[in-house]
Structure 1
Amino acid sequence: MRIRPYISSKDYEYVSRWIDNERTHAFWCANLLPYPMTQKSFHDLLEKNAMDWTDSAYVATENSGQAIGFFCYSVNTADNIGFLKFVIVDKTKRGKGYGKEMLNLALQYAFQITGVKAVQLNVFNENTLAKQCYEKVGFVERKIDKDVFAYKDELWSRGNMIISKQSF
């Protein structure tokens, strides 16, 4: 597996196929995008986050070049902590170690190339499979905001997880 910058004209078709129901969509983007998302809405959000937070978008590919994962990454230079967002893996690859491998590559990049001391992310507690994947990589929960997101008739809690360079 490799990671490379997201190429909008090439990679959107893959990412959009991995989000095929409203619940997965809400888990993934906290409804910051309308469902179903469009190429324009997705790229507008990526551009906004690049301008506001210096986010960069990446895809994970198999050695053949086939996109199998996506994430955004930024660095808060004030506290030297990286932030992962919009993490998702091809739905046909979930539960097979691809997410863990992609996160390990993202963390290698974060620690070795961008030089951060830690990386954090947010995940809904109800997204148990994603949370378990993050824990397997070494992320630990440091804060939970209870009932902060409404999805249909449910209230979801959001956990903030972190991994330090020393524990990676």
Structure 2
Amino acid sequence: MLGIRPYRKNDSIQIACWCRDSISFYKWSEGRLGDFPVSPERIEQAVSGRIDNEKYFPFTAFDETGAVGFFTLRQPGVNAEELSFGYVILRPESRGKGYGKQMLKLGIKFAFELYGITKVSLEVFDNNPDAYYCYKSVGFRENGNITSYDLCGEKWKSIEMEITR
């Protein structure tokens, strides 16, 4: 059984170990955490600077073995009715077990039922089909917004997806 809890400082040590290659790291971070490899300190710096922000929610997913995933929910702009997923990552050994879907559903439940949001969004790179189909399987749909990023010497397309209550 999977659960989520608020992110804790030492979670960054495990999360940094889950980023084992540069391509996976940039698919996860969009380059917002600097260069690969990422350090626990850099993750902590990125997350802790916003913890007291009432529009930013970092979560760690866990099972009986410990931490297995991480994600954030944040208000992406001035629309108080929307939260956006970010930094969605699973421990590599936990992939393929349905944890991604469970973790997303728990985040969506938090947004809709506990926080009262009417729309949740996220972005996914078109070169990350496993994540794309995971998001689609829990109800996210493309909304037509596409952004390009220069990553790893290439142009990567990011597809925005959303789900509404």
- TM-score when normalising by structure 1: 0.88
Three-state SS of the structure 2 residue aligned to 1:126 is: coil
Tell me the amino acid that sits aligned with residue 131 of structure 1: Y
Number of residue pairs aligned between Structure 1 and Structure 2: 162
Q: In 1, Cα distance between the equivalents of 2:90 and 2:61?
A: 9
Three-state SS of the structure 2 residue aligned to 1:105 is: helix
Change (3 A) 1:140 1:57: same
Please, what is the CA RMSD of the aligned residues? 1.9
In the TM superposition, what is the alpha-carbon distance from 1:158 to its structure 2 partner? 0.7
Partner of 2:128: 127
Tell me the amino acid that sits aligned with residue 15 of structure 2: V
Tell me the amino acid that sits aligned with residue 30 of structure 1: E
> Among the aligned pairs, what percent are the same residue?
28
Partner of 2:59: 58
Partner of 2:161: 161
Tell me the amino acid that sits aligned with residue 68 of structure 1: V
Q: In 2, Cα distance between the equivalents of 1:105 and 1:30?
A: 23
In the TM superposition, what is the alpha-carbon distance from 1:149 to its structure 2 partner? 1.3
Q: In 2, Cα distance between the equivalents of 1:151 and 1:131?
A: 18
Three-state SS of the structure 2 residue aligned to 1:112 is: helix
Partner of 1:30: 30
Q: In 2, Cα distance between the equivalents of 1:48 and 1:160?
A: 25
- TM-score when normalising by structure 2: 0.90
Unaligned runs of 5+ in 1: none
Three-state SS of the structure 2 residue aligned to 1:95 is: coil
Partner of 1:145: 146
On the 8 A contact 2:123/2:159 being kept in 1, the answer is yes
Q: In 2, Cα distance between the equivalents of 1:105 and 1:52?
A: 21
Unaligned runs of 5+ in 2: none
Structure 1 residue runs of 4+, over 6 Å off? none
On the 8 A contact 2:4/2:103 being kept in 1, the answer is yes
Partner of 2:115: 114
Tell me the amino acid that sits aligned with residue 84 of structure 1: F
